[in-house]
Each structure stands twice: as C-alpha cells, then as structure tokens.
Chains A and B, each alone.
Chain A
Amino acid sequence: MLSLRNVHAAYGSVLALRGISLEAPEGNIVSVLGANGAGKSSTLRAISGLLRPSQGTIEFEGKSINRTSPEKIVQMGISHVPEGRQIFTELTVMENLRLGAYTRRDGDAIKSDIDRVFSYFPVLGERAKQQAALLSGGEQQMLAIGRALMAKPRLLLLDEPSLGLAPMLVREIFGIIKTISEEQGLTILLVEQDASLALSIANHGYLLETGTVVLDDTAEQLRGNESVRRSYLGY
C-alpha cells in the first residue's frame, strides 16, 4: 500500500533522511522505532508532504506522491497525527473534528463519522462543545487521532501517541488504535519511542538510526532480537 525507496530529505542543509526504504502492507500496523533524531518524525513528514524528499520515491497505492501537496495527500487517503498533537486549541472539539473532514463533501456521512469517533472516545462526545485547550493531554491525543480519522484515511500516520501520557492512558489509547485498525481495515504507520509498547501491537517493525533503516523484521522477531532488546526494550 505504501512504499518508500531510498528517500532522502533535509531541513535546509541538515540531512534528516539518508535513504529510507520501507513498506506498509494493507491492513498492517507497521512500527518505526529509533532514538531521538533518528529520522522517525521526518519519515512521517515526508510521507504526508510536509517535508519534500530530495531524492528517492514515495508511492501510495501505486502512485508517486513525492511532489504532491499535503492537501492532496490527505484527499488520497493518508492522515497524519503529528508529534505534539497539533490540535486547534482555540477551537472546540467539534470544530476540530469537522476540520478533520475538511476534504470531504458528504455531509451526512460526516455526521455519522463524528458519532463513530465519539463511540471510540466517549469523553470527546461529552466535551464536544468545549475549547480544545481545556482538554487533558490524553484527551487531546484522542482528539488528534479522532480528527485524523475524520478524513476517512486508508493509511494513518501516528507520531508518538504515548508522549507525555500516563501509562494507563497509553495502554487505553493503544487498545483503541488496535481496535480501529481491525474494525476498519486501516493501515497504520506508528512512530514510537516506547519500543515494547509499539511492538506489542505491530505486525512489522523498522529500526532507524541517523536517517537510515538498520533493521527490518516482523514484530515478533524484533522482540527477540538481542541488540533491539538491549538498546530499545531495556531488558
């Protein structure tokens, strides 16, 4: 469904990606692991069009999206839940969700999709009319995911959904992510610092170091891999 081949990208003169290649097959949860600065977020930014690759190809459902604008990419079916959530804090929860469906024109379906998001995250339904700034960190993360789902994506890019959240909340959110993936057949590319958590729900994993893929295997194999265990799983 998604494939990156030898993708390079830079911020000004600082090279962030030095030849990333990865695949995300339909219906899978693929996890991207690595330390800070390894290029995990940049990979997602390159896919969603925020960062333009200088070299290599990014294909989504067989079409190259290297030079496609972020707006078009959303329309094609890729939603990005960015690092730090980036919700619209001055708008209400409802307005955030409606913006998530900005590229869609099917009014009635949007309404029922909002209800579906509320069924995944009931607390958002309770706070629909509140300003998003008033939500807790976990609720903001739920809103960010909910907003991304509103675009009816076939591929969801999730950047560090666990960041700054209590472990219990993290487990709850990951449970919901897994459910959504299964129910809707959604493909998910998950960037996560917490490797054990990520590998617990992923089918496949990529390990990034300084902008390149250094290891690539099934989640199960990675969990058993000695060096992964020592460096990223911590036991």
Chain B
Amino acid sequence: MSVRALLQPRFLWLSLLGVVLIVFPYVHGWPLFDGSIRNLGFFTLEITEFRTFNATMFGVWLLVAMSMNLLTGTSGQISLGHAAVVLVGAYTTGILFDEFGVPLALAVILAGVFTGVVGGLVIGLPAARLSGPYLAIATFSLIITLPQILKLNGINSWTNGALGIGIRPVEPPNLVNDFLGAVTRDAVSLNERQWIYYVTIGTAVLMTVLLWNITRSRIGRAFVALRDSEIGAEQMGVNVPLYKALAFGISSFYAGIGGGLFFVVQTFVAPESLRFNDSILFLVAVVIGGLGTILGSVFGALFLAFQAEVISNLPDWIPGLNNVRDFERLSPVIYGSLLIATILTFPRGLAGIVQSLLSLRRGGGIGAMDLPALSAIRGTLRNLSASLPGNSDADDSGKKE
C-alpha cells in the first residue's frame, strides 16, 4: 500500500474509527468523560462502564441489521420473521454449548452456518415461489409460532421449555490476559465485559467488511437485479430461485451469528426473548437507517441499541412530556409513527439524507450520486408496483400509448 493511499480521507476516517472502537471500553475512566463535564444542555459527556455493554449490543444489532437489510433492502424480500431467525441462532448456540459441550466460539460459528443453511433451504427455496404479501404472512406466522415450537415437550431436553437456556459470562482466555500483561507490564487486563466487547465488535467489523465485498460482487449485483425486476434479472441470466435462496441463506447466516452473540452477550435466551415486536423493530431500524446500504445498517443498529434509552429520556429533554402519563409505554406508538412517517416522507432513510448532503457538498448534485439507496427506492418502486396483481396491471396498461 502506498503512502498516498494511507493519507486518503477515507482511510484516515476508518483508522480513527478503529482507534475509537479499540479504546472505547476504557474511556469511562478518562478525565474528559468521567462526568466532570456535565449538562451541556441536554447532553452529558459522561460515559459509564455500562456503555461497554451498550456498545457490545450495538455490535450484535449491527449483525442483525445488516442481515435484515441485505434481505429486504438489497434483495427486496420481505421478512417479518427475522427475530425468529435470530432466535434460532441464539438457541442453536445455546444447545450446542449446553447439550453437546461445543466450545462457545465454535458454537456461534456453527449456529451461523446452521441458521444460514436452514434459512436458505427451508425458508429461501419455498419463498422463491411466493410474492410479497404471501411471504409476509408466512414469515409472520413463523415468528408468532416459534415460541410455541420451542416450548414443545418433545425437545424440552434441549430447549429447557419456557425456562430457556442460561450460561455464565464468558471470561477472557488466560492466554490473552497473560499476553497483555507481558506486553504492557500488567498495566492492562481485560474483564469479562471488555473481552466480549472486543469479540463482538471484532466479529461485527469483520462481517461488515465481508458484506461490503459481497454487495460489490457478482452475487450482490444479482441481488439488486432481483429486487429491481425479477423478469429483468432472469433475462440477464440470473438464476432467480437460486439467488433468492442465497439471499435468504446469507442473511440468515448473519442473523445466526448475531443470534449466537446475542445469547453470549445476554448470557440467556428464552422462547420469548425475541418476539414479533422485535421483528418489526428490526424493520423499523433498517427503514429509518436506510434500506440497501451498510451505512443504513449502522444507523439501524444505533437505533436498536439506544431507542429504548432515548425514548425513556425524552421527557427530561422535551418540556411538557413530563406531564404525559406512562410516557414509556408510548414508545411503540413513537416508533410505529416514526416508521410510517419515514416511509411516507423519506423512504431512503437517514443514510439517504447523509449521502445527499455529502454529495451536495462535493458539488456532485443529486443527479450525479451513485447511490445504492436511491436506485433501491427507484428499483423497488418500479418492480414491486409492476408485480402487483390485478388493479395495477389495468392501470399500467392504460398508461401506454
């Protein structure tokens, strides 16, 4: 790599991000962030140790958001059962570890592979035959039913029924702390929280890079073609059922790894750990974040990690909300309205806004943008409205001259 490449703004930004991610679990002890500077309006710089856990969950949610976004945003397939897929990943990890004594790290990877294969073959292949609304119903029924399946007595010995599976927090391997101790003369060592943070964030970063490459490969282009127009994709020589199954498979692989880490981070999973509401929340996250882009998934993961806290803090920030009774119970109403408002007014989400701003600053103008999100919206618009049975056919045929 030449020196010039190292000085590119993108590289510098990414390095900075890397440094932030690496030092993050220690920041809470530093002078600037220990709470000595408070009350900058509604904003405080205090970073507590609890933030490490938040950031770890952000890594988990990033995997989940990317998984959802690859399927819905990039490939145009609707899934309302995504929480179910994540839950399967979590349970597989738990069962492999608890019942079969597989080491946790391996269990997470195996869970990802298992979920990926199941998602591709059992959901993806049949789904290839179904149009949007039917797919939505099928995946809806999956997430509603899964808790009951997990509680079936026949598999009780594996799933523990309604009680779920729990583990102790994962401790960092001695090897790691011995090494760190030797290198830093015992100045640095990792506790359980910090260790799982690094593992999760490391995995999330790796899988983000992998997804980045997938979306830019032949496979990624085939997914986009699939979303824009199935007929078009077919004419371009894309094997539609195969790539649909592949989209479900890869997406489920990500969800499975995310689920596995969800289990490890939370140290617990039960049949109702993730429910239909979470499925919708995942959808809200990628829609608000931005469909079809990795940046959108990052925003989506931030939403998933912090929405509950932000909503519960709203009354402190916005005067008047204090008087609203049971304000926290309104959170579903808030994110539901946010979801509808985003779709109605800015279907490209936050990532779309950011990208428009950036490209305006570069002087490229909206038209010059190379935006997956933009083509996403255009494409889905064209393709999906044309695929509606019935009325729209009649409407469309009328428009032709």
Contact = CB atoms under 8 A, between A and B. Distances in A.
Interface stretch (B16-24, B82-90, B293-301, B391-399): B391-399
A235 interface: no
A151 to B, nearest CB: 18
B401 interface: yes
Contacts of B394: 86
Majority SS at the chain B contact face:
helix
Contacts of B398: 45, 50, 82-84, 86
A40 B401 contact: yes
A41 interface: yes
A49 B399 CA distance: 13
B397 A16 contact: no
A45 B401 CA distance: 10
A175 interface: no
A28 to B, nearest CB: 24
Candidate in B394, B400, B401 with the most chain A CB atoms within 10 angstroms: B401
Contact of B401 (A39, A50, A82, A86): A39
A202 B394 CA distance: 29
B174 to A, nearest CB: 66
A36 interface: yes
A37 B401 CA distance: 5
A37 B399 CA distance: 11
B358 to A, nearest CB: 25
Contacts of B401: 16, 36-42
Interface string A31-48: 000001111111001000
Interface of B: 394, 397-401
Interface of A: 11, 16, 36-42, 45, 50, 82-84, 86
20 contacts: A11-B399, A16-B401, A36-B401, A37-B401, A38-B401, A39-B401, A40-B401, A41-B400, A41-B401, A42-B401, A45-B398, A50-B398, A82-B398, A83-B397, A83-B398, A83-B400, A84-B397, A84-B398, A86-B394, A86-B398
Given A36-B401, A41-B401, A84-B398, 8 more contacts: A11-B399, A40-B401, A41-B400, A42-B401, A45-B398, A83-B398, A83-B400, A86-B398
